[in-house]
Amino acid sequence: MDDALFSDDAPLLEVSDLSVTFSSEDGLVRAVRGVSFTLEPGRLLSVVGESGSGKSVTAMALLGLLPRSAQVAGSAKFRGMELLGRPDREMMAVRGAEIAMIFQDPMTSLNPVYSVGWQLVEAIQAHQEIDKDAAWDRAVHLLDTVGIPEARQRAAGYPHEFSGGMRQRVVIAMAMANDPDVIIADEPTTALDVTVQAQVLEALRTAQEVTHAAIILITHDLGVVAGLADDVMVMYAGKAVERGTVEDIFYWPRMPYTKGLLGSLPRLDASGDERLRPIPGVPPSLANMPPGCPFMPRCPISRPNCAEDEPVLRPVVGGGHLAACHYAEEVSPGDELFAPISSDAEVVE
Amino acid sequence: MPDNPGLLGGATDPATGAPAPSTGVGGSTAPVEAMPSPESFVDTSVAAVAARSQGRAILRRFLRHRLAMASLVLFVAILLLDEIGSRLWPYTYSQLTDALNSGPTGGHPFGTDGVGHDMFAQVMRASLTSIELSLVVAAVSMVIGVAIGALAGYYRSWPEAFLMRFTDLILTIPILAILLVLSRQAARHAGSWLFIGLIIGFVIWTSVARLVRGALLSLRERDFIEAARALGAGDGRIILRHLLPNAVGPIIVNTTLSVATAILLESTLSFLGLGVQPPQTSLGLLISQNQGAATTEWWLFAFPAIFLVVIVLCVNFIGDGLRDAFDPRQTRVRA
């Protein structure tokens, strides 16, 4: 990589007004509609949202991995170097070396015909001038770091000989292979059993300690967010609707949608007969979006003007806490906005 | 690859070989790992060196495949018999002996034909020609088919449209018509098995190309390809090192089938007088010449036919073994 392209005082990753549009039979699908955030070294930013809220598309846009039919606008600067619209040849030097990616499904993201050691060696040699034996030793060391037992023997094994959790650790080891500055993990635990999720997250945390990389963790598991994240960005319908530190978001969410997400989780500290409070309705279609706040039809505190102007992400109560709601100040931690789920069992009783 | 010094060299290399950021990770604990107790050091290094080589793993799996190994031995034995046996045998394939229409005897174990050719010498010569020719066909059709199929399947859009319409064009023209036109040109090289092999190879690559394209269309959408790209792999690396190794099964099966097709096509050409020309001979030529004698002078037909069947079977079993060897999920040992 040409070091002259980077500047030291620029932020590690600065995304501003990123938007991605796909054309489909139903017209233009605006998958991401103006997302901005800054990633600082060593921080873990968690991107939360429902399926289809644009989380993964945002990540793929950063690495230039979207299909050519996608129209990407806005800006994403890595150490001051613009990533969007860079030719593929130059992006190849960034992928894996500066920004690495961990995919959702470990069962399919390893090549079935090569041993995991071979795949690690390939990842290492793609960006480093290093001979095969040294690369192999480094591969074994990486496997050891992410918690693969007997790494030297296991390195010769093939992906089908590994369990899902072990494979995801191998994938994490591959992402660490070139000491990237940013690791993007796209729902790394979604495809795994709950019991191995914790181990994989531990491996991810180790990866961060070893490489000092900043991590973008895409997930819809709020438990994972609470345990790992420094900062949280909540996405809805292609936009960031709330952003803040993990404490801001969990203790005093300011956007009704975030509040709904948190309220729909079972809580250990609640009394046993309390019911979950789901968010009614479904997210809007990203093609032909109506004007106004996209959450308005599902929102319990919406007012007529919500249907006309879409709220922008703005600071609430100072600090770094941002929310995109006209009435963010009215949302308080104590109130429950959504009704508890009703159940047939209750009727029978 | 250096065998024993692998570990020692590897332990010290990250410090010198790798750029600055990786030394913190690679250099710190590697020496500790590399120096366990003496005997386990030897064990793990030998095992690790053997296991880390992808090629050796494939070879090991192939060697364990008994049917494929038996076929390989038989195939080599036939080749040696053809190469060396024909020099030691008292008769040459073109020599006319005094025995006419003799059945199998001590002097002529495969009998003789109506003009006195010794069939054993003829079959040896013929199977050599057929093997050489079919290997040329297999190589040519595989190289062209894989290249065209891979480019079309990976790049899609206009390269695919162009290459696959070209493939369709070759497919729609009757194969025999192309062969006849092309082999007219071969008149100058009359009887040259190499030339005929090239011609057949240039015609039958279409099925490999379509197969490879189909396999790549599905493979290119798999997550591990996306993952490879996210690690910084370029198009060439993705095609050669990630996609094609996963498509090895259909490629090998199709190529071994094309060996049988090639031998039969060559016999058709010979039958029409455009393939291998007498006194040169091939298995296809012998069979087509003598199929009328199958019930009367059975030895004229049976021995070339047996050789043909054995050779084609051997090639297919070897291909089977290769396919299993390239597939690491295939762990059971075949009988």
Paired sense of beta strands A44-49 and A231-236, if any: parallel
> Chain B: residue nearest A161 by CA?
B329
Q: Is B246 on the interface with A (CB under 8 A)?
A: yes
Shortest Cα distance, chain A CAs vs residue B50, angstroms: 9
Q: Would you write out chain A's pLDDT as a tens digit for each of its 349 residues? A: 444 456 666 789 999 999 999 988 878 888 999 899 999 888 999 999 888 888 889 999 999 888 888 899 999 999 888 999 888 888 988 998 899 999 888 888 898 888 899 999 989 998 888 888 899 999 999 999 888 889 888 998 889 889 888 899 999 999 999 899 999 999 888 878 888 888 888 888 888 888 889 999 998 888 888 888 899 999 998 889 999 999 888 888 888 888 888 887 777 776 667 777 888 888 888 887 888 888 888 888 888 888 888 888 888 876 788 888 888 888 877 777 777 776 654 544 4
What DSSP line would sit under A276-340, residue for residue? Answer: P-PPPS-PPPSBSPPSS-TTGGG-TT--GGGGTSPPP-EE-SSTT-EE--TTGGG--SS---SPP
pLDDT at B330: 65
pLDDT at B278: 72
Token pair of A48 as six digits: 């939360």
A97 contacts B232? CB cut-off 8 A: yes
Distances (CA, A) of B217 to A108, A206, B162, B211, B330: 16, 37, 16, 10, 23
B7 contacts A130? CB cut-off 8 A: no
Q: Would you write out chain B's pLDDT as a tens digit for each of its 335 residues? A: 344 443 333 333 333 333 434 333 333 333 434 444 444 444 444 444 545 577 788 888 888 888 999 999 999 999 998 888 888 888 888 888 887 777 788 788 888 887 888 888 889 988 998 888 888 999 999 999 999 999 999 988 888 889 999 999 888 888 778 777 776 766 666 557 788 888 888 888 898 999 999 999 999 888 889 888 888 888 888 998 889 988 888 898 888 888 878 887 887 777 777 777 777 788 888 888 888 887 888 888 888 889 988 998 898 899 888 888 888 776 554 43
A178 contacts B25? CB cut-off 8 A: no
SS3 B47: helix
A103 contacts B51? CB cut-off 8 A: no
A130 contacts B17? CB cut-off 8 A: yes
SS3 A234: strand
Token pair of A312 as six digits: 């922008």
Query: What is the torsional sign of CA A97, A102, A106, A108?
Result: negative
> Chain A: residue nearest B2 by CA?
A133
Q: Is B26 on the interface with A (CB under 8 A)?
A: yes
Q: For the purposes of burial, counting CB atoms within 10 Å of the CB of A178, is it exposed (0-12), middle (13-18) or buried (19 or more)?
A: buried
pLDDT at B56: 81
B25 contacts A210? CB cut-off 8 A: yes
* CB-nearest partner of B223 from A105, A129, A177: A105
CB A119 within 8 A of CB B56: no
Give the mutation candidate from B52, B61, B219, B225 for the A interface (greatest A CB count, under 10 A). Answer: B52
Let me know the angle formed at the C-alpha of B226 by B220 and B227, rounded to the nearest 5 degrees. 135
pLDDT at B189: 60
Token pair of A224 as six digits: 């994972």
Show the domains of chain A with their CATH numbers: 3-229 (3.40.50.300), 235-348 (3.40.50.300)
CB A213 within 8 A of CB A102: no
Which residues in chain B have their CB less than 8 angstroms from residue A150's CB? Answer: none
Bridge partners, residue A314, by sequence: A323
Give the mutation candidate from B218, B229, B231, B244 for the A interface (greatest A CB count, under 10 A). Answer: B231
Show the domains of chain B with their CATH numbers: 6-52 (no CATH), 65-326 (1.10.3720.10)
B223 contacts A142? CB cut-off 8 A: no
Shortest Cα distance, chain B CAs vs residue A171, angstroms: 9
What DSSP line would sit under B198-249, residue for residue? Answer: HHHHHHTTHHHHHHHHHHHHHHTTSHHHHHHHHTT--HHHIIIIIIGGGGHH
Shortest Cα distance, chain B CAs vs residue A128, angstroms: 7
Backbone φ, ψ for residue B36 (5° rounding): -80, -165
Instruction: Measure the CA–CA gap between B119 and B90, rounded to whole angstroms.
Output: 12
Instruction: Measure the CA–CA gap between A36 and A16, rounded to whole angstroms.
Output: 4
- Please report the ipTM that was assigned to this predicted complex: 0.77
Which residues in chain A have their CB less than 8 angstroms from residue B34's CB? Answer: 137
Distance of CA B319 to the CA centre of its chain: 7
* CB-nearest partner of A117 from B52, B226, B326: B52
Q: Which amino acid is at A87?
A: P
Which residues in chain B have their CB less than 8 angstroms from residue A206's CB? Answer: none
Inter-chain contacts counted by CB atoms under 8 A, chains A and B: 160
* CB-nearest partner of B21 from A65, A133, A179: A179
SS3 A76: strand
Bridge partners, residue A328, by sequence: none
In the sheet that A27-39 helps form, which strands lie side by side, from edge to edge?
A27-39, A13-24, A71-78, A81-82
CB A248 within 8 A of CB A317: no
Q: Rounded to a whole number, what is the largest CA-CA distance in chain A? A: 72
pLDDT at B190: 55
